[in-house]
Amino acid sequence: MILLDSVWYRYPSGTVALQNVNLVINRGEIVALMGENGAGKTTLLKHLNGLFKPTSGRVEVDGVDTRTTTVASLSRKVGLVFQNPDNMFFCTTVFEEVSYALMQFGFSREEAEERAEEVLKTFDLLQYRNSSPFTLSGGEKKRLAISIVVAWMPSYIAIDEPTTGLDGWGKRRLIDLLLNLRDSERGIVLSSHDVEFVSEVATRVVLLLRGKVIADGPAVDILTDPRLLEEASLLTPQIPTLIQELKRKGLGDLNHKCLKLDEAVRCLSEIFSKTGSHFRGEGG
Amino acid sequence: MSLSLLQALKYRSLDTPIHRLDPRVKLLAAMSFLVTALLFGRYWGGMLTVSSSIILSQLILLKVAKSSRYLLTTIRGALPIVGLVFLLSLLGLLEPTAQAGEVLYWALASSIRFLAFLTSFNIFFLTTSPDEFGQLLSKLRIPYVYTFTFVAAVRLAPVIADEAQDIIDAQRSRGVEFEKGSPVKRIKALVGVFVPLLINSLRRAYEMAEALEVKCFGASERRTTYRELQASRKDVLASIVVLSGLTLMIWANGLGAFNGLP
């Protein structure tokens, strides 16, 4: 469990980036930190592996206070993927890039090679094992950055803006990977503006506004609340918008919330089953 | 020489009478400090007087510019190299006719002179923005392509510093420890910072070159400028003060005021 207890953070320039943040992040959940630029999402992520220490309050990772240990030892438990994957690469080949951190953490050469091979296969990057990481496409670089972290199997994975530079298929693939990681009992924290992506993947959403948590709850509750989303300068995802629009026009009286595609199909089937004849009548 | 020496030369945007001065006046003052520190004072007494006066004048001016603490940062950062100058000057003790006291005073005066030389441009760099610097270079008839290159480099320095910090954070998150281990291990760890920084900088340079081409950089030989330096009465007055001070020093030096022992 990662615990943030009354966390405040002030940059040396004097800017207060986090104000009294209280959060608990458990394994097996995908928590999305959302909010406008400068809301404090990246600052919060950097607290999880001790890169930033709170100005006041405390952050604990599985009971260990981040102020009492090194970033290297915390990173063993909390893997952080940076927004710009280029900042993480410096090795000659993709394979060396993945095995580098494994060697840092003291894995044997054989085990590091085995894990690197396995993770490259999982992330569909094995064909690039001898290529330079800098020659990969944007989506491949993002996958490589995540695979570097997944290779040492941390209990928690924090990903800063995972969808930046990804095309539609890249996002789809990333969603599947994240859901697999969640199923393997890892806690995942991601920061994103991408409401559609978050709708598909997150189990929980935390809304930040100027360093404060303004909402924290199940994704289906937060992402179907236009008022809250507007406060955090976010747009409502398309599926809840469609359902709300249908409701506003009197087409269907739905009390349950829809966020994902399968839920939307269920909602729409319900509406059509009630008003199908009406639609057909109008159409004819 | 530590990085704090360079950090102390970084422009800070403040609204003070010194910041508002025309950069040409500040350049004139800095050049005067430099020339005075290098040329005047033949013996240790004169050297000590001249160099101390320069540092004191800088301190007063920087106090007005609300930046005096950066002069102290420069002095602190320069201490190792100033110490080296002191030690090298002590080599004079090896001469058979050398008097220990005399050599010691000479070494001290040389160190202070070196410090005055190092800090002579502090007032200029701390209070002149990259844009003003560019306008100054244009006034000095330096071709725009060189002026632009220099100003762009100065402007990008903080961006690259931030990026270096991001890369360091990314590497620390992969288990790299920059503060631990043997010097060889630490230097090896820095390779992980240098490579991505270089690649990102090259990429940025290409992108900037393309952006400049898109904005028709160099389309005409005689470009117009949005802002030009205009000297006010205050600037003229400040120039007169600086030139008077320099003339006074030259006159005093001519009279041999800085030649003897104190």
CB contact under 8 A, A88 and B199: no
Largest pairwise CA distance in chain A: 72
**pLDDT confidence of residue B260:** 60
Average pLDDT over residues A232-248: 88
B45 and B261 Cβ atoms separated by less than 8 Å: yes
**pLDDT confidence of residue A283:** 44
Q: How many CB pairs under 8 A join A and B?
A: 57
Choose, out of A71, A93, A103, the residue to mutate when testing the contact with B (most B CBs < 10 Å): A71
How far CA B132 is from CA of A107, B10, B135, B231, B258, in Å, comes to 55, 14, 5, 13, 36
**pLDDT confidence of residue A55:** 95
Interface confidence (ipTM) of the complex: 0.73
> Which has the minimum average pLDDT: A69-78, A188-197, A205-214, B33-42?
B33-42
- Residue B197 C-alpha, separation from nearest chain A C-alpha, in angstroms: 8
> Which has the minimum average pLDDT: A128-137, A179-188, B211-220?
B211-220
Average pLDDT over residues A15-35: 95
Q: Where are the alpha helices (DSSP H) in A29-137?
A: 41-48, 71-75, 94-104, 109-122
**pLDDT confidence of residue A94:** 94
B23 and B128 Cβ atoms separated by less than 8 Å: yes
Structure tokens, B176: 């790299």
CB contact under 8 A, B196 and A79: no
Average pLDDT over residues A222-250: 88
How far CA A224 is from CA of A235, A239, A255, B136, B140, in Å, comes to 10, 9, 12, 57, 62
Q: Is the pTM of this model over 0.95?
A: no
In this predicted model, what pLDDT tens digit does every residue of B224-258 receive, in sequence order?
Answer: 777 778 888 999 999 999 999 889 888 888 887 77
How far CA B45 is from CA of A232, B42, B115, B210, in Å, comes to 68, 8, 16, 57
On the question of pLDDT at A253 being above 70, the answer is: no
